[in-house]
Homo-oligomer: A and B are copies of this chain.
């Protein structure tokens, strides 16, 4: 974990390299605060696992947290993360389409 810009960039992307974390960020895509309990129900994840993933994202600055009573709420720290997500999704789906066309033509 060096501190050059490539490592920083890679460390940030590491946050996005797990399906649970992607899903959680999608649940938070509206930019609003979400309590842990809600995400646990919706996502169907184990409590410890969920808490660990939230902690990773918080540590990397991808989400913010606030405490209210005994609940903890999280929200996305920067909506450009969602914009980047949508670009990556577009890349994935047009890649899939391209592979589909190849398949039709007998390529692979």
Give the interface of A toward B (CB within 8 A). Answer: 2, 4-14, 16-23, 26, 61, 77-78, 80-81, 83-85, 87-92, 94-95, 99
The 8 closest A-B pairs by CB, nearest first: A13-B16, A6-B19, A84-B87, A14-B17, A10-B19, A84-B84, A17-B17, A7-B19
A79 closest partner in B (C-beta): B91
Task: Return 29 A-B CB contacts under 8 Å, by A number.
Answer: A2-B19, A5-B89, A7-B19, A8-B92, A9-B16, A9-B88, A9-B89, A9-B92, A10-B17, A10-B18, A10-B19, A10-B22, A12-B91, A13-B22, A13-B88, A14-B17, A16-B17, A61-B95, A61-B99, A77-B91, A77-B95, A78-B91, A80-B88, A81-B87, A81-B91, A83-B87, A84-B87, A84-B91, A87-B87
